[in-house]
């Protein structure tokens, strides 16, 4: 298989058909017939799954993977990457913000530059709110200051990877995944590919503020222990402050003045209390992550696969046995894997 195209989808029923047409056309012009399109249904509550099944039944190039529930964008993507079989792998969003037609020039760049990763860099972002643009801008810059790995600015998950780069990526077992950073971490030759990001074709963003925040915290904690060092910086600052305060109190006492009590005392107590709580919370954030990783659960659970008959060997997740519950009297009666 020359090329795999991996597409995580969450409630994208309006995009799927056009997406399939454009991606298939782009793949055909670039590599002929030797490609697969992998849709990963991330627990959609709309008609995405039946539509995917239909597309997979009609087009032999399509494999549709149904996760057992919503696992989140990065894990859905991981499932697709784990299951795909191509020598080169394109990651693309389902909402057509990243034009599939860029596949050909990206393949060309990969050949010309002898690169293992060609990652899309957003020159412009159409149809995104000023708030999203501003927070994304700030986030990528904060991230690059906080981390030792050079995570490219303004790059999303839209990228083309070689098989050896993907295999290296799949060797990283962590739960809290920030894939664009992890790809930067694995190294090899990676080249940027500037492009204009289009407007979402249909539907709303699947990244509300809450999920964006989670994603940002995952990225920061996953790639940097700088927040933990904050405690020592703040501690140092407070110690210096206290020395100055002691000197001042000694001076005032020697000069025969007495210092007004309640207000200053309260201020010190409140400030120190707040700083301690904040540092505790930061540590809690890392401990929670440690706990999560320590459990060592599979990263995703696949309920069924349409368009491929054998059970794929996967490294990071779990694929339910399609034959185990088939026609069982009490089962839900789903008929997985045709």
Asked if 80 is part of the footprint of ligand UDP (rule: CB under 6 A), the reply reads no
Q: How far from 70 is each of 8, 167, 301, 305, CA to CA, in Å?
A: 11, 25, 10, 16
Sign (positive/negative) of CA torsion 258, 263, 264, 269?
positive
Asked if 224 is part of the footprint of Mg ion (rule: CB under 5 A), the reply reads no
The DSSP output letter for 23 is: H
Positions in 91-120 near ligand UDP (CB under 6 A): 93-95, 97
SS3 76: helix
Which window, 5-13, 105-113, 180-188, 323-331, contacts ligand UDP (CB under 6 A)? Answer: 5-13
> Do the beta carbons of residue 62 and residue 37 sit within 8 Å?
yes
Q: Identify each DSSP E strand in the chain by its residue range.
A: 3-9, 35-41, 62-67, 88-91, 117-125, 155-162, 190-197, 301-306, 318-319
Instruction: State the minimum distance, in angstroms, from the CB of residue 205 to Mg ion.
Output: 6
139/268 with CB nearer ligand UDP: 139
SS3 50: helix
Asked if 42 is part of the footprint of ligand UDP (rule: CB under 6 A), the reply reads yes
CA-derived radius of gyration, the chain: 25
> Do the beta carbons of residue 70 and residue 42 sit within 8 Å?
yes
Instruction: State the minimum distance, in angstroms, from the CB of residue 316 to Mg ion.
Output: 24
With CB under 5 A as the contact rule, the residue among 12, 36, 82, 95 that binds Mg ion is 95
| CA–CA separation, 155 and 161 (whole Å) | 14
With CB under 5 A as the contact rule, the residue among 44, 48, 74, 97 that binds Mg ion is 97
The DSSP output letter for 218 is: H
With CB under 6 A as the contact rule, the residue among 206, 216, 224, 303 that binds ligand UDP is 206
116/175 with CB nearer ligand UDP: 175
53/97 with CB nearer ligand UDP: 97
144 binds, among ligand UDP, Mg ion, none (CB under 5 to 8 A by kind): none
User: Angle 95-213-229 (CA atoms, 0-180°, nearest 5)?
Assistant: 140
Asked if 78 is part of the footprint of ligand UDP (rule: CB under 6 A), the reply reads no
Asked if 116 is part of the footprint of Mg ion (rule: CB under 5 A), the reply reads no
121: Cα separation from own chain's centroid: 16
Instruction: State the minimum distance, in angstroms, from the CB of residue 41 to ligand UDP.
Output: 8
Binding site for Mg ion (CB under 5 A): 93, 95, 97
Binding site for ligand UDP (CB under 6 A): 8-10, 12, 42, 70, 72-73, 76, 93-95, 97, 205-207
């Amino acid at each position: 298989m020359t090329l795999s195209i991996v597409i995580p989808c969450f409630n994208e029923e309006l995009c799927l058909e056009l997406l399939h047409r454009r991606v298939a056309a782009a793949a055909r012009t670039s590599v002929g017939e030797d490609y697969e399109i992998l849709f990963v249904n991330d627990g959609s509550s709309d008609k995405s799954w039946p539509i995917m099944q239909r597309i997979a039944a009609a087009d032999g190039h399509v494999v549709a993977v149904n996760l057992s529930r919503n696992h989140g964008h990065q894990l859905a993507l991981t499932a697709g990457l784990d299951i795909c079989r191509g020598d080169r792998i394109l990651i693309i969003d389902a909402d057509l913000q990243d034009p599939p037609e860029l596949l050909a020039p990206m393949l060309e760049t990969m050949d010309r530059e002898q690169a293992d990763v060609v990652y899309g860099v957003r020159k412009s972002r159409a149809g995104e709110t000023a708030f999203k643009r501003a927070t994304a801008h700030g986030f990528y810059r904060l991230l690059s200051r906080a981390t030792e790995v050079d995570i490219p600015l303004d790059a999303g998950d839209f990228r083309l990877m070689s098989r050896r780069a993907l295999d290296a990526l799949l060797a990283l077992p962590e739960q809290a995944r920030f894939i664009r950073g992890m790809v930067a971490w694995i190294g090899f030759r990676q080249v940027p590919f500037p492009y204009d990001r289009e407007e979402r074709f249909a539907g709303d963003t699947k990244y509300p503020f809450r999920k964006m925040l989670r994603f940002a915290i995952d990225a920061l904690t996953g790639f940097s222990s700088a927040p933990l060092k904050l405690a020592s910086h703040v501690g140092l600052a407070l110690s210096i402050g206290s020395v100055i305060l002691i000197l001042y109190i000694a001076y005032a006492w020697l000069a025969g003045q007495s210092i007004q009590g309640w207000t200053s005392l309260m201020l010190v107590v409140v400030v120190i209390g707040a700083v301690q709580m904040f540092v505790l919370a930061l540590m809690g954030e890392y401990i929670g992550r440690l706990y999560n990783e320590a459990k060592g659960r599979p990263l995703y659970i696949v309920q069924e696969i349409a368009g491929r008959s054998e059970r794929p060997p996967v490294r990071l997740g779990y694929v339910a046995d399609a034959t185990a519950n088939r026609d069982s009297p009490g089962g839900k009666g789903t008929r997985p894997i045709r």
